[in-house]
């Protein structure tokens, strides 16, 4: 079905890019490398973000830290306006790269930058006059912190505008499938930012330590992205003479549809808190935030893999390599299912222990643990919709990717309305409804994707769903075997005991899961991949001779 789609980019005179075609073997290696380096980068980011808040709060007050948190809340909403633009860059740079058309890349990028700079400049002017109202009336920031808030709010907004306007080079690199290189730069700059935060805090820069470190990180990363983009794409040029009105349709059409999907995604990611705030109270929202936080953070790890599929699909679609696209879709969905199942299974089975280890012993965390166990499993199905959505965007059918969020939002809204007419909404019932609807919506969308791609549902179940489910069987089996030990050691009554038990259980679970997967789930190619990576690791640490 998908083979009938065709590109609708502007028909313009082009100049060829003198570059070799990425063949099947090279594409498989490139996608694999991009996938796992993206996962590593995301894990590294989560680890650094996990430990920074306690350090910062030992130097500054909670009110100032709250102002910094609001800065990134504002940026997250600004980012919605740029979501469609970035996807246009990535998708069409990949297409023009595949067809060796450097002139179209130059025109696309130059036109996009003109649009972004124009819109963002107008925004910054309006934001300057709106800020006093936000500071005084909306956020109710104390008088003594008004100046600090203004500097941080406007400063981070300027950095964001700078990043979206000139940070286009990162999206060029993603479109060229230099995702691993982007990840390396990002990890390096993230490390630098972390070090600078510590240095500036000890130099008594206070809350401005975070702002200065963030600015330096963004500036250096932008510079490195720019240098690398010009290096890997000879002939790249950004100029007013390249601006073409014919490209506006791409940004409005493709970018606008992706934009709608991004807005729906943000709404769906916070709908549990919105409904909880309306039907329950702020304490309930707090418990929801605690119960859903770890699965939501963990979800970003496999989600990083989905970002790899868009440029790869667009590249192969341009060259009519449809069977390779299908193979990549199945391999990618399988890898995501294995990784997501491994993470979510442990969070589901050990939810109560994990929350005690993370936050301590409080009665309300019992309810949060129940929410966490309900919330984790649906995230598995939710993440599995990513490869299909990336596929639709890659073949220039982004409207099809809206089926899932529209269906999910409609079912959640109607289910809550129907339920409240007969029963009283509680924390558990709210999350349970959202979880069931998420699984149902994701399943329906996956069935639609398989039908569109003419992939057997039975094949998808065996290759993708079943391997992910295996982790849950292992996790709950191990937890069941350890229940008596948990009670005897009073693990749930002592935070340090809980930490030790979670770490020990995590190691045992990882070993058992890997053993089972390697012997019964992984195919021959996956075993060869693991052996090759393991040997390379042993050589690097000197435990194996390099000529072996």
Do 41 and 303 form a contact (C-beta atoms < 8 A)?
no
21 vs 460, more confident: 460
102 class by beta-carbon count within 10 Å (0-12 exposed, 13-18 middle, 19+ buried): buried
Instruction: Tell me which residue of 179, 189, 164 sits closest to 81, measured CA to CA.
Output: 164
- % of the chain exceeding 90 in pLDDT: 42
Q: What pLDDT score was predicted for residue 76?
A: 66
pLDDT digits (tens, 9 = 90+) for 225-239: 999 999 999 889 989
**Which of 362-368's residues contact partners 24+ apart within 8 Å by CB, and which partners?**
364/283, 364/287, 365/290, 367/287, 367/291, 367/427, 367/428, 368/287, 368/290, 368/291
Q: What pLDDT score was predicted for residue 82?
A: 60
Does residue 469 lie in a domain region? yes
The yes-or-no verdict on residue 45 having pLDDT over 50 is: yes
Do 190 and 217 form a contact (C-beta atoms < 8 A)?
yes
pLDDT digits (tens, 9 = 90+) for 501-517: 899 999 999 999 999 99
Does residue 30 lie in a domain region? no
Q: Are residues 180 and 318 in the same domain?
A: no
The yes-or-no verdict on residue 77 having pLDDT over 70 is: no
439 class by beta-carbon count within 10 Å (0-12 exposed, 13-18 middle, 19+ buried): middle
User: What would the mean pLDDT of 274-286 be, rounded to a whole number?
Assistant: 73
Show the tokens assigned to 337: 């299912």
Give dist(CA 344, CA 414) in Å, integer. 28
Q: Are residues 199 and 155 in the same domain?
A: yes
The yes-or-no verdict on residue 7 having pLDDT over 50 is: no
The yes-or-no verdict on residue 543 having pLDDT over 70 is: no
Q: Are residues 278 and 239 in the same domain?
A: no
pTM above 0.95, yes or no: no
Q: Are residues 69 and 198 in the same domain?
A: yes
Q: Are residues 92 and 197 in the same domain?
A: yes
Q: Are residues 162 and 309 in the same domain?
A: no
C-alpha separations of 455 from 148, 338, 458 in Å: 56, 19, 9
Do 362 and 493 form a contact (C-beta atoms < 8 A)?
no
The yes-or-no verdict on residue 381 having pLDDT over 90 is: yes
Q: How confident is the model at residue 447 (pLDDT cuts 50, 70, 90)?
A: very high
User: What would the mean pLDDT of 451-459 be, rounded to a whole number?
Assistant: 94
17 vs 546, more confident: 546
Residue at which a domain ends, from 196, 222, 243: 243
Does residue 211 lie in a domain region? yes
- Secondary structure (3-state) at 361: coil
The yes-or-no verdict on residue 33 having pLDDT over 90 is: no
Mean pLDDT for all residues in the chain: 85
Does residue 545 lie in a domain region? no
Quick one: three-class SS letters along 133-150?
HHHHHHCCCCHHHHHHHH
Q: What pLDDT score was predicted for residue 382?
A: 94
Instruction: Tell me which residue of 111, 107, 106, 105 sits closest to 85, measured CA to CA.
Output: 111
pLDDT digits (tens, 9 = 90+) for 339-350: 999 999 999 999
Q: What pLDDT score was predicted for residue 473?
A: 96
Q: What pLDDT score was predicted for residue 341?
A: 95
Please count the other Cβ atoms lying within 10 Å of the Cβ belonging to residue 26.
11
pLDDT digits (tens, 9 = 90+) for 109-141: 999 888 888 888 888 888 899 888 888 877 777
Q: Are residues 327 and 219 in the same domain?
A: no
Q: Are residues 329 and 437 in the same domain?
A: yes
**Angle at 398 (CA atoms; ends 397, 401), nearest 5 degrees:** 115
Q: What pLDDT score was predicted for residue 217?
A: 93
Domains in the chain, number:
2
Alpha-carbon torsion (8, 12, 17, 18), positive or negative: positive
Q: How confident is the model at residue 81 (pLDDT cuts 50, 70, 90)?
A: low
Q: How confident is the model at residue 13 (pLDDT cuts 50, 70, 90)?
A: very low
The yes-or-no verdict on residue 389 having pLDDT over 80 is: yes
Does residue 263 lie in a domain region? no
Does residue 176 lie in a domain region? yes
Q: What pLDDT score was predicted for residue 306?
A: 83
User: What would the mean pLDDT of 469-483 be, rounded to a whole number?
Assistant: 93
Please count the other Cβ atoms lying within 10 Å of the Cβ belonging to residue 120.
21
User: What would the mean pLDDT of 26-46 be, rounded to a whole number?
Assistant: 85
Do 309 and 179 form a contact (C-beta atoms < 8 A)?
no
Q: Are residues 337 and 384 in the same domain?
A: yes
Q: Are residues 394 and 504 in the same domain?
A: yes
pLDDT digits (tens, 9 = 90+) for 162-174: 887 877 899 999 9
The yes-or-no verdict on residue 449 having pLDDT over 80 is: yes
Please count the other Cβ atoms lying within 10 Å of the Cβ belonging to residue 303.
18
User: What would the mean pLDDT of 328-337 be, rounded to a whole number?
Assistant: 93
Q: What are phi and psi of 101, to 5 degrees?
A: -120, 90
Do 394 and 314 form a contact (C-beta atoms < 8 A)?
yes
Instruction: Tell me which residue of 87, 78, 453 sits closest to 257, measured CA to CA.
Output: 87
Do 105 and 176 form a contact (C-beta atoms < 8 A)?
no
pLDDT digits (tens, 9 = 90+) for 176-220: 999 999 999 999 999 999 999 999 999 999 889 999 999 999 999
Q: How confident is the model at residue 416 (pLDDT cuts 50, 70, 90)?
A: very high
Show the tokens assigned to 332: 């990618």
Residue at which a domain ends, from 222, 243, 264: 243
Q: Please name the helix (run of DSSP H) or strand (run of DSSP E) that holds residue 101, with its range, or none.
A: none
Q: What pLDDT score was predicted for residue 1?
A: 45
Q: How confident is the model at residue 546 (pLDDT cuts 50, 70, 90)?
A: low
The yes-or-no verdict on residue 476 having pLDDT over 80 is: yes
Q: What pLDDT score was predicted for residue 79?
A: 62
Residue at which a domain ends, from 225, 243, 261: 243
Give dist(CA 384, CA 498) in Å, integer. 32
Q: What pLDDT score was predicted for residue 393?
A: 92
The yes-or-no verdict on residue 5 having pLDDT over 50 is: no
Sort residue 57 into left (φ over 0), alpha (ψ -120 to 50) or beta. alpha
Q: What pLDDT score was predicted for residue 325?
A: 92
The yes-or-no verdict on residue 4 having pLDDT over 50 is: no
Please count the other Cβ atoms lying within 10 Å of the Cβ belonging to residue 269.
13
Give dist(CA 275, CA 289) in Å, integer. 13
509 vs 64, more confident: 509
Q: What pLDDT score was predicted for residue 364?
A: 67
Does residue 291 lie in a domain region? yes
Q: Are residues 110 and 239 in the same domain?
A: yes
Q: Please name the helix (run of DSSP H) or strand (run of DSSP E) that holds residue 401, with its range, or none.
A: none
Q: What pLDDT score was predicted for residue 399?
A: 92
99 vs 364, more confident: 99
Q: What pLDDT score was predicted for residue 531?
A: 86
Q: Are residues 223 and 279 in the same domain?
A: no
Among 82-91, 241-250, 336-345, top mean pLDDT goes to: 336-345
Q: What pLDDT score was predicted for residue 15?
A: 44
Does residue 27 lie in a domain region? no
Q: Tell me the residue range of the domain where 201 lies.
A: 48-243
């Amino acid at each position: 079905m998908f083979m009938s789609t065709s590109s609708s980019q502007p028909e313009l005179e082009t100049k060829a890019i003198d570059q070799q075609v990425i063949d099947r073997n090279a594409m498989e290696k490139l996608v694999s490398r991009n996938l796992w380096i993206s996962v590593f980068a995301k894990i590294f980011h989560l680890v650094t973000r996990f430990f920074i808040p306690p350090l910062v709060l030992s130097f500054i007050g909670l009110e100032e830290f709250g102002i910094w948190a609001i800065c990134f809340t504002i940026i997250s909403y600004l980012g919605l306006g740029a979501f469609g633009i970035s996807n246009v860059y990535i998708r069409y740079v990949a297409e023009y790269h595949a067809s060796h058309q450097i002139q179209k890349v130059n025109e696309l990028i130059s036109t996009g930058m003109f649009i972004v700079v124009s819109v963002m400049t107008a925004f910054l002017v309006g934001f300057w006059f709106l800020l006093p109202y936000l500071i005084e009336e909306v956020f109710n920031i104390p008088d003594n912190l008004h100046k600090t808030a203004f500097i941080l709010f406007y400063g981070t907004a300027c950095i964001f505008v700078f990043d979206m306007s000139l940070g286009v080079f990162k999206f060029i690199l993603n479109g060229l499938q230099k995702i691993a290189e982007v990840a390396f730069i990002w990890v390096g700059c993230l490390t630098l930012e972390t070090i600078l935060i510590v240095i500036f805090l000890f130099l008594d820069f206070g809350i401005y330590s975070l702002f200065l470190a963030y600015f330096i990180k963004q500036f250096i990363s932008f510079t490195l992205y720019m240098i690398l983009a010009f290096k890997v794409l000879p002939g790249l040029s950004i100029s007013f003479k390249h601006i073409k009105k014919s490209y506006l349709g791409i940004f409005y059409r493709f970018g606008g549809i992706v934009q709608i999907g991004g807005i729906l995604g943000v709404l769906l990611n916070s709908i549990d808190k919105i409904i909880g705030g309306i039907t329950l109270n702020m304490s309930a929202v707090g418990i929801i935030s605690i119960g859903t936080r770890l699965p939501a953070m963990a979800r970003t790890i496999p989600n990083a893999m989905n970002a790899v599929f868009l440029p790869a699909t667009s590249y192969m679609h341009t060259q009519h390599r449809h069977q390779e696209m299908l193979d990549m879709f199945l391999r990618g969905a399988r890898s995501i299912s294995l990784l997501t199942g491994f993470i979510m299974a442990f969070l589901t089975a050990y939810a109560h222990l994990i929350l005690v280890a993370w936050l301590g012993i409080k009665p309300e965390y019992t309810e949060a643990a129940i929410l966490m166990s309900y919330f984790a499993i649906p995230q598995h199905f939710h993440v599995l919709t990513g490869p299909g959505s990336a596929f639709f965007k890659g073949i220039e059918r982004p409207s099809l990717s809206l089926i899932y969020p529209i269906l999910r939002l409609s079912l959640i809204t109607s289910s809550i309305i129907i339920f409240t007419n007969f029963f009283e909404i509680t924390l558990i019932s709210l999350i349970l409804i959202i979880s069931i609807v998420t699984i149902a919506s994701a399943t329906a969308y996956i069935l639609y994707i398989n039908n569109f791609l003419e992939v057997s549902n039975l094949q998808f179940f065996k290759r993708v769903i079943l391997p992910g489910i295996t982790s849950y069987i292992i996790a709950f089996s191990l937890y069941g075997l350890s229940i008596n030990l948990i009670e005897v050691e009073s693990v749930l009554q002592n935070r340090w005991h809980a930490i030790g038990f979670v770490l020990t259980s995590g190691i045992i679970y990882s070993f058992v899961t890997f053993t089972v997967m390697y012997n019964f789930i992984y195919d021959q190619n996956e075993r060869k991949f693991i052996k090759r990576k393991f040997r390379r690791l042993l050589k690097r640490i000197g435990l194996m001779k390099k000529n072996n």
